[in-house]
Structure 1
């Protein structure tokens, strides 16, 4: 039977942030990544509280269904604990955290997920994303309003639609049960990795092999090499048939340090969990909407952005078309200041314009047909007239005709 043969957890503050708001757990059978949010004073607390509470679910289960239910219950309990903490510490109002959790039970895994941290599976040389981001831009992608490429650079790509925190007392948690087998490698990560490292690069790192800790370190390095604007947390889980290389639970990130204040008991009952208003604004760009009105406002803002982009494109096209038309008019006007001498129905003629054409449009017209027959000209003069003789002005063209007339062969 398949089992966890190796696992690792690595967390890094990144190159921009001043503190690590991520937390990660590599337990005996439970593996979790949490990405906190809510500013310097709240994100690290939120992820640490969530990991500490969810870690209690790292026990043996008789079935994957039991594990799935337990994971969902532990996330809901963590959500209630976060709300209780905010009630006790108003300065943490608005804090929250994403959670992606994976429990391994032989040939099956139970998954619980909320937010935009991710779970990937590497199997037979391919990497597949198992979880779906609970973000504003993901909704736009799912509805066909923007592409995956547009979502990657969308100004609202950090807006979360679902998280654990002090906003929703009954958060909607995605759960599932999937089959796993020997040779599978599972990856749990915060968006500090997935936001800057492509799935192709992640697959390339998996393809190199090595121990779980080595892989986790390489992935974190890839994020750092890409700038690492956010905290980076990676948990790698190997499925095999050998005894696990590591048996002690490993906690990384903010949850690895003790909290600076006492948290309330999770079983405490209060008549009112949330304060009537936010005492402090959320200082992060990574936050969840508070109401449907806010969501509607974001959707309308996205529509305005699309309309502005289309207006810019249309304006650019109109400007380019106008420039082409103006250039064409000026070029045509220039051609009408030029003349050349040629033949018309066997006689010498003066044409206004140039000898070229643009498709079906001739850039010249017959200006004057003389009474000088080509047959009366010397053979050399006949050839150059048939090949046309350019002139910079009408006067020059008339001088050319006069010279041809004077050199006619006497009849």
Structure 2
């Protein structure tokens, strides 16, 4: 049985923006998402023009490569239409849009992509990003200059390197042909989803038993729960062999492409209301920096690379300062710990003599934490057996005066054991027995 597809599309303006500059489409064969550049007047117009032109290729093709060529041609045609619209409406100068689209042809799909909207594939529990973002920070990540975590907070994370619009007469579009199989779940989304919802959350939603429509609704809801500072558009396409009889095959257009075109500039943001702040005090409550296109000129890249070097230098300085601070703290802890040990005393054996030691009995590897503070004339061998063993095992003292008192008690014990029997108790001297005097008179 040939693989079929079930799909759904949904788009939401988000909690911050005033208008929806996203557009989406889910048809019989074509699935697409476009994200208008929010920093320019007419981002909604650009995405709407793109989707309306691209959806004209929602039809069956003899091969995936034919579909790939048709999809690429449709994006180039959309780019020309946007340029012509700007020529007629000068107030829209600079508008543009990203596009991620795919056409199913049998057991394959043809993909066309430009910008930072994304296509994901969920297969056998694994989520994989199929498209590559055409952004400046992604270029830095690919070149190893920064990490993906650093890219998420980079000051130029909103710079797009490739878009459809009047900014480039011949934009470079990525295309590819890939195999599909029953059980696949494909996701197309604007960066309003991928930038604010962790991939693990996306994977978890796609792994659920919900149908395509329920999954799109869940993903949008989770984004709204995270504050949804940007427009968010989601298209989900399931590849299956079991198609219910009541499936609605009608094409769905969402976002700005589903509304009449208006050629009026918009601020692109709406005022923050008190309920939004109260309901989402820990969420994003301000609009993200607007995406915008910047040309790939040598001077531009030289400036960006210089800035990136300055950022790396600042990062190294920060790490150095942090390392020095950590070393200072460690030295301080060691110093204070050593001082604490030197406030303690105990009595022990220093060779053959009894002595007062300053410090603690423990050591750290070869380092001893105590030393002889005061020696005495008392010999360990002069002590009674039971005290002699105590001294060898050391006797703790609460203070220096207490240690000296212990020495005096030991000296007294040694004196009392002067006979050397080892008990500490003097042996009594035996009393001599008197010789008895004989009695009786003389015998004559």
Q: Same fold by TM-score, threshold 0.5 exceeded?
A: yes
Mapped contact 1:350–1:397 kept (Cα < 8 A) = yes
RMSD: 2.8
Where 1:200 maps in the other structure, the secondary structure is helix
More deviation in 63-72 or 118-127?
Answer: 118-127
User: Structure 2 CA distance, aligned partners of 1:207 and 1:286?
Assistant: 31
Question: Relative to structure 1, is the Cα distance of residues 244 and 90 closer, same or farther in structure 2, using a 3 angstrom cutoff?
Answer: farther
Mapped contact 2:43–2:96 kept (Cα < 8 A) = yes
The residue number in structure 1 matching 2:329 is: 323
Q: Cα deviations across residues 352-378 of structure 1 (Å, max 9, x unaligned)?
A: 333232221112223443332223233
Q: Cα deviations across residues 182-232 of structure 1 (Å, max 9, x unaligned)?
A: 443322111122223333333333333344322222222222223222111
The residue number in structure 1 matching 2:68 is: 68
Count matched residues: 391
Question: Relative to structure 1, is the Cα distance of residues 336 and 62 closer, same or farther in structure 2, using a 3 angstrom cutoff?
Answer: closer
The residue number in structure 2 matching 1:356 is: 362
Mapped contact 1:2–1:239 kept (Cα < 8 A) = no
Question: Relative to structure 1, is the Cα distance of residues 367 and 182 closer, same or farther in structure 2, using a 3 angstrom cutoff?
Answer: closer
Q: Cα deviations across residues 125-157 of structure 1 (Å, max 9, x unaligned)?
A: 433322111122222222233333443444433
The residue number in structure 2 matching 1:370 is: 376
Shift of 1:98: 0.5
Question: Relative to structure 1, is the Cα distance of residues 331 and 204 closer, same or farther in structure 2, using a 3 angstrom cutoff?
Answer: closer
State TM-score, norm by structure 1: 0.84
More deviation in 102-111 or 338-347?
Answer: 338-347
User: Structure 1 CA distance, aligned partners of 2:212 and 2:355?
Assistant: 88
Q: Cα deviations across residues 301-327 of structure 1 (Å, max 9, x unaligned)?
A: 333333323332332222121122133
Question: Relative to structure 1, is the Cα distance of residues 40 and 79 closer, same or farther in structure 2, using a 3 angstrom cutoff?
Answer: closer
Shift of 1:253: 0.2
Where 1:202 maps in the other structure, the secondary structure is helix
Q: Cα deviations across residues 11-56 of structure 1 (Å, max 9, x unaligned)?
A: 1111222211100112332221101114373211111111122222
The residue number in structure 1 matching 2:14 is: 14
The residue number in structure 1 matching 2:95 is: 95
User: Structure 2 CA distance, aligned partners of 1:395 and 1:155?
Assistant: 66
Question: Relative to structure 1, is the Cα distance of residues 254 and 379 closer, same or farther in structure 2, using a 3 angstrom cutoff?
Answer: same
User: Structure 2 CA distance, aligned partners of 1:367 and 1:208?
Assistant: 73
The residue number in structure 2 matching 1:135 is: 135
Shift of 1:334: 4.8
The residue number in structure 2 matching 1:285 is: 290
Shift of 1:75: 1.0
2:338 corresponds, among 332, 339, 342, to 332
1:308 counterpart = 2:310 = no
Where 1:157 maps in the other structure, the secondary structure is coil
Question: Relative to structure 1, is the Cα distance of residues 220 and 339 closer, same or farther in structure 2, using a 3 angstrom cutoff?
Answer: closer
Question: Relative to structure 1, is the Cα distance of residues 167 and 365 closer, same or farther in structure 2, using a 3 angstrom cutoff?
Answer: same
More deviation in 191-200 or 98-107?
Answer: 191-200
User: Structure 2 CA distance, aligned partners of 1:225 and 1:29?
Assistant: 32
User: Structure 2 CA distance, aligned partners of 1:370 and 1:246?
Assistant: 101
Shift of 1:109: 1.6
Paired residues for 1:226-241 under 5 Å: 226-240=226-240
Question: Relative to structure 1, is the Cα distance of residues 401 and 179 closer, same or farther in structure 2, using a 3 angstrom cutoff?
Answer: closer
State TM-score, norm by structure 2: 0.79
Mapped contact 2:33–2:117 kept (Cα < 8 A) = yes
Mapped contact 1:37–1:284 kept (Cα < 8 A) = no
Task: From the CA coordinates, give the structure whose radius of gyration is larger.
Answer: 2
Where 2:357 maps in the other structure, the secondary structure is strand
